Chains A and B, each alone.
Chain A
Amino acid sequence: MTEQQQMDLRRDEVEAGAQTGLASPSVDVTSGRQNSLWGDAWRDLRRNPLFWIGAVLGLSFLLMALVPQLFARGADPRDCDLSNSNQKPSAEHWFGFDQQGCDYLANVVHGARNSLIIGLLAVAVVLVLGVVVGAIAGFYGRWLDGLLSRLTDIFYALPLILGALVVLRSGILGRGVVAVAIALAAFGWMTAMRLVRSQVIAVKSSDYVAAARAMGASNRRILVRHILPNAVAPVLVYTTITIGVLIAAEATLTFLGVGLQRPAISWGLQIENGQSLLRTAPHLVLFPSLVLTLTVMAFIMMGDALRDALDPRQRA
């Protein structure tokens, strides 16, 4: 029981006491502002080292994407000298040089931008599609739910990479950053939809929704104001983790040759390029793989921490 509740209880007792003629001690009702669900979650998050590792990594990669010059140690990724081809890492050039003799650190650092843009853009589309379709299916139910759920099942039947591969190879969208993001989102929104749908169905039957209806709230108001805010927490956790998964998927597509194309700078392209030289110049695969793994991990760790923080059963 919180302090405020105890105070209420005392107050209730005082009123009862006044009525029954019992002693009524004075009660000082102070304004003890307390935390909401998100406030509690934030308090939990702050204490979670997993969250801090993820957040620091994620922020560094974000900074890397915004101002790569800060991290590239003065080197230009396009300024190449073939005489440096495949040179090993050194004190001067921490990540060495690639086959074309370009500074590899600069290249890897500049790769962050595309990866993050694709990850965030794709996840935004996933979130919008998942929330809209899931909320409509869960709220209105009946035949509309049946239709949308079967549609989701059809998309589920297509693996993410295969679906995106087919779309990108068809050439309808081109091969740019936006095209890759849309292709990934188009085959990655289904889990978010299912999460939202099941949450909406669970929240829909709660008493406060009936109360809102009884007080004359419209369908739209009930859905947007009362149901969705109570239904989004698991979806936010899911999408945080999904950013990492989608960044990895982008690298996979690019590695397979259907994602981004040169002259774009991308970790997937760097890994693909380096794999044939794995024996002579292993650093060409090692460094982009390392940052890719760290980026994916950063988002998954933040998602995990967020899930723990939002789950009241995990709370001590």
Chain B
Amino acid sequence: MTRPDPTTSVLTGSAGTPVLEVDDLHVEFRTRSGVVNAVNGISYSLAEGQTLAILGESGSGKSVSAQAIMGILDSPPAVITGGGILFEGRDLLTQSPEEQRKVRGPGISMIFQDALSSLNPVYSVGYQIGEMFRAHRGTSKRDAKKHAVELMDRVRIPGAASRVDDFPHQFSGGMRQRVMIAMAIALDPRVLIADEPTTALDVTVQAQVMDLLKDLQRDTGMGLVLITHDLGVVNEVADDVAVMYAGRIVERGTVDDVFGNPAHPYTEGLMNSVPQVEAKGGRLQPIVGQPPNLAAIPSGCPFHPRCARRRLGADAAPGRECATDVPPLRLVVPGREAACHYSEEVLGV
């Protein structure tokens, strides 16, 4: 597995030293019917104040990689089989569970897709936000509640002081996600991982929640990893984007570059499948075929069975046969990495 030299990575250049680095992470699920390779060597780094979107369809391994970082993989069957997760330069995977626990919450925090099921139904929201202070800092109950009200104000929950004792089911979807965000940012984490934070919300509320996240990021300078399949959300808030397919990163660069001119046929397919206002009434262009079965990932480039640009047999350049040679993630043009043998062609350079 070739890992990009950090000095040439587009993702560390702009905003300073990396606070979170994922290094050649491998996760597999050992099930009775075989091994499912969910994450196959992904690497990225995140600087303070940077927003990295991880874009991919269901089963591309984007959520699993986040769960690995947070230590909440269902294990068994999930096993981290290789790689490292470096927070401020220290590998979490080599630390004791107790040391890891001290990072999760104050250092790296996470918000989830479904805020209702992510909040404990038997406690008031104030209690749950305050728990962050009690669990990690030993704050007294009264002070924790005071902090909770401040946080609820900060995430713009109206009437925070009067709603601090309400229970999760008494809030609407957008408000619940705000409660979840308040919990996640309670201890001023340096990295916030948002796993599809707006997928369960309707469009107007989506925009508010994303605005809130952006504002909070600007205030605190935290790094934000945004896991999503929503191209629109990526376009609005992310600086950089990493596109995942079959447990690998297939392309990454700045959002403008990647969306403006994809270097990987899969990204290209994604862009083509977006409904266009101008093409109203026309047919959408889907990517043909099905997402790969992670228990039997195609040989060579995992995307080749669905790829319109694939080159097989004699058509292929030596060592760049799509069905046999695995394309490494490589620097294609400055600021852009892609895992395709023929990226230059896709880019048109």
Contacts and interface: CB of A to CB of B under 8 A. Distances in A.
Interface stretch (B130-138, B278-286, B300-308): B130-138
A8 B174 contact: yes
Interface in A1-36: 2, 4-5, 8-9, 11-13, 15-16, 19-20, 27, 29-31, 33-34, 36
Contacts of A206: 117
A31 B162 contact: yes
10 contacts: A2-B169, A2-B170, A19-B207, A208-B121, A213-B104, A214-B70, A215-B184, A218-B135, A229-B122, A229-B123
A37 interface: yes
A5 B175 CA distance: 9
* Shortest beta-carbon contacts, A-B, top 8: A216-B105, A31-B162, A8-B172, A16-B204, A216-B104, A207-B117, A214-B70, A29-B159
B259 interface: no
Nearest to A211: B118
A214 B71 contact: yes
Interface in B164-194: 165-167, 169-172, 174-175, 180, 183-184
Contact of A36 (B71, B117, B122, B171): B122
Contact of B158 (A11, A36, A205): A11
B259 to A, nearest CB: 24
Interface of A is mostly: helix
B122 A216 contact: no
A210 interface: yes
Contacts of A230: 120-122
Contacts of A216: 101-106, 135-136
Contacts of A226: 120
A150 interface: no
B167 A208 contact: no
Contacts of B180: 211
Interface residues of A, number: 38
Contact of B120 (A5, A208, A214): A208
B72 A214 contact: yes
B174 to A, nearest CB: 5
Interface stretch (B39-47, B50-58, B107-115, B313-321): B107-115
Nearest to A33: B165
Contacts of B81: none
Given A8-B171, A16-B204, A16-B205, A213 B71 contact: yes
Interface residues of B, number: 47
A7 to B, nearest CB: 8
Contacts of A211: 110, 112, 118-119, 180, 183
Nearest to A216: B105
B214 interface: no
Given A207-B112, A215-B109, A12 B172 contact: yes
A8 B170 CA distance: 9
B31 interface: no
B208 interface: yes
Given A12-B174, A216-B106, A225-B131, A34 B167 contact: yes
A4 B120 contact: no
Contacts of B121: 37, 208, 230
Interface in B38-80: 67, 70-72, 74
Contacts of B169: 2
A11 B184 CA distance: 23
Interface in A191-238: 205-208, 210-218, 221, 225-226, 229-230
Contacts of B184: 215
B163 interface: yes
A37 B122 contact: yes
Contacts of A210: 67, 72, 112, 118
Contacts of B104: 213-216
A3 B103 CA distance: 39
B172 A214 contact: no
B163 A31 contact: yes
A12 B204 contact: yes
A221 B131 CA distance: 10
Given A216-B106, A225-B131, A207 B118 contact: yes
Given A210-B67, A212-B120, A215-B109, 10 more contacts: A2-B170, A5-B172, A11-B158, A11-B172, A15-B208, A30-B159, A207-B114, A211-B180, A213-B71, A221-B135
Interface in A53-78: none
A275 to B, nearest CB: 49
